[in-house]
A and B are shown apart, each in its own frame.
Chain A
Amino acid sequence: MTTWRAATVASTARLTSTARSIVLDVPGWQGNLAGQHLDLRLTAEDGYQAVRSYSIASVGPGQLVELGVDKVVDGEVSPYLVDEVRAGDQLEIRGPLGGWFVWRPADVGPVQLVAGGSGIVPLAAMIRARRTSSSVAPFRLLYSARTPDDVLFAPELDNAGDVEITFAYTRRAPDGFARKPKRLDRTDLAELTLPPADDLTVFVCGPTGFVEAVADGLVSLGHDPARVKTERFGGA
């Protein structure tokens, strides 16, 4: 049984022009698996409550829990989290949640991660978990972002050791970048991701349309649907 408990904002940091890292101090937090999420509840002065799910970027011991939140235009909760919340503020959380979209360090098979926008958050947790556990499971990441300025955790990804990382951009690519900006298609997936294999696990996270296009593309390339794990964010 999991239920609501108090959390305090410990610190915040800007990740991109629209995204922010929020570190919560959660007394009694018992750690989490890479890929899990938590539910966050905000209560307005008039009693109105809003609940949203956010993936957890952090792994490991301690009671500090990091979220990466990207602002959804016209959103009810994310603009507050990205623009207004500050250290010391209190909110409520429920978690950690979910055992389906998780990577465990005991899993030795190769892993292909595919991120769309802020879908990188739970996948960054998997990369962190791999590093802290000294796992040697082959990891590859394909990260689709609007522009180079929209990449979350960029410095960390630049120093991700032997994780093979490929960026793809949908609106603007860096100067001299070979691939012209466009959405990922089946050809991209064939060229930029690991081929189907019995022991390969694929994790896809991002907006709903992105996740479904990528998952369908991967299955059409021969991946076992049962090994393509997906997590959809609402909205676009």
Chain B
Amino acid sequence: MPAHVDGNALAGPMSELFAFDVTVATAVCGSCGDNAHMGQAMVYVSAMGHVARCRSCGDVLMVLVETPNGTMLNVRGLTGLRIAPTG
């Protein structure tokens, strides 16, 4: 396993897609139910893309793959994402 960083690294790529800041969104893990800000997730970055894993159980929360043909965002591991109000 390469060294992981954290959900702060998702801010840039996700900002290309959404108007909200993903690092302060609260993610609910579909495996263990842990509630955490996405900024607290463990993120593995490779040439393929970003894989965010639950800080608590390690299961995949989100996969983000950017290709020349578009971006694939898989959020199967999330039960939900609570987006903080802006401002």
Q: Which residues of A contact B (CB under 8 A)?
A: 1-3, 37-39, 51, 53, 94-95, 97-101, 207-209, 229-236
A234-B11 contact in complex given A99-B24, A100-B24, A101-B23, C-beta closer than 8 Å:
no
Q: A100–B37 contact, CB under 8 A? A: yes
Question: Does B79 have its Cβ within 8 Å of any Cβ on chain A?
Answer: no
Q: Are B12 and A234 in contact (CB under 8 A)?
A: no
Show 29 residue pairs from A and B whose CB-CB distance is below 8 angstroms, ordered by the A residue: A1-B15, A1-B16, A1-B18, A2-B12, A3-B16, A37-B8, A37-B11, A38-B12, A53-B5, A94-B12, A97-B11, A97-B12, A97-B15, A97-B23, A98-B8, A98-B39, A100-B21, A100-B37, A100-B38, A101-B8, A101-B23, A101-B39, A208-B3, A208-B4, A229-B39, A230-B40, A232-B6, A234-B45, A236-B3
Verify B12–A95 contact, CB threshold 8 A: yes
Asked if B12 and A53 sit within 8 Å, CB to CB, the answer is yes
Which residues on the B side are within 8 Å of A99 (C-beta)? 21, 23-24, 84
Contacts of B54 in A (CB 8 A): none
Given A1-B19, A234-B45, A100-B12 contact (CB < 8 Å): no
Nearest CB of chain A from residue B40's CB, rounded to whole Å: 8
Please report the C-alpha to C-alpha distance between residue A1 and residue B18 in the assembled complex, in whole angstroms: 6
Interface residues on B, range: 20 to 34
* Min C-beta distance of A52 to chain B, whole Å: 9
Q: Is the CB of A39 within 8 A of B5?
A: no
- Determine whether the beta carbon of A208 is less than 8 Å from that of B15: no
Nearest neighbor of A36 in chain B, beta-carbon distance? B11
Q: Which residues of chain B are near A51, meaning CB under 8 Å?
A: 12
CA distance A82 to B40 in the complex (A): 29
The CB with the most chain A CB atoms within 10 A, among B5, B11, B84, is that of B11
With contacts A100-B8, A100-B38, A100-B40 known, what are 19 further pairs, Cβ within 8 A?
A2-B15, A39-B13, A51-B12, A53-B5, A53-B8, A97-B12, A97-B15, A98-B8, A99-B21, A99-B24, A100-B24, A101-B23, A101-B39, A208-B3, A208-B5, A231-B6, A234-B3, A234-B45, A236-B3
Q: Which of B1-42 contact A (CB under 8 A)?
A: 2-9, 11-13, 15-16, 18-19, 21, 23-24, 37-40
